[in-house]
Structure 1
Amino acid sequence: MEINEDNVDNAVLALLWLTLHDGHRAWKSHDWDVLDRLHKKGLILDPVGKAKSMVLTNDGLRLSEELFGVLFSNATKP
């Protein structure tokens, strides 16, 4: 099966919105390859380090909430 990495990245970014705390921080309990791609896209700060959470950029925070609504909200479904 060929995987659409952009769709996976969008789903993970949306799920990061569920674990937000302290404003822009989210738990980094997702696949490291996805987190690396999100970092390269400028949506999260470098996730490498001892902390169990990472920081979403302003763009990442905005897109995370938007994607969560699109992918998981009943309001967006017919």
Structure 2
Amino acid sequence: MSNTEAKQAMEELTMILLYLSRFQDRDLPDFKGKPIYHAWKGYDFEVLNQLDDKDYIDQGRRPSRRKSVYITEEGIEEANKLMEKYGIKDW
């Protein structure tokens, strides 16, 4: 595995942690029948904003009073790629 810049690693590892700490809100699927995942947003706000800008998560309107973020389908795909990169297995 090659070296990763600290800023990039922080973003990648935050995405992985968001994904691994995910939870379902009310066990309701989205309109496609897929589960809707959320994660608590206790991470660096700049990094969360970068992940939001890339459409990996949705924080709602800024500034948001929500304490959780929605993990998008793109975010789930990216988290799975990053977990493979770092050799992390899902639950």
Cα RMSD of the aligned pairs, angstroms, is 2.0
Percent identity over the alignment is: 24
The yes-or-no answer on 1:59 pairing with 2:74 is yes
Show the 5 A alignment for 1:41-56: 41-46=54-59, 48-56=63-71
Q: CA deviation at 1:66?
A: 2.9
Which of the pair is proportionally richer in helix?
Answer: 1
| Corresponding pairs, count | 72
Q: TM-score, normalised by structure 2?
A: 0.66
Structure 1 residue runs of 5 or longer lacking an equivalent are: none
Structure 2 residue runs of 5 or longer lacking an equivalent are: 25-35
CA distance in 1 between partners of 2:59 and 2:68 (Å): 11
Which of the pair is proportionally richer in strand?
Answer: 2
Contact kept? 1:27, 1:52, Cα under 8 Å: yes
Q: Could you say which structure has the greater relative contact order, defined with CA pairs below 8 angstroms and 6 or more residues apart?
A: 1
The yes-or-no answer on 1:32 pairing with 2:34 is no
Contact kept? 1:27, 1:54, Cα under 8 Å: yes
Larger Rg: 2
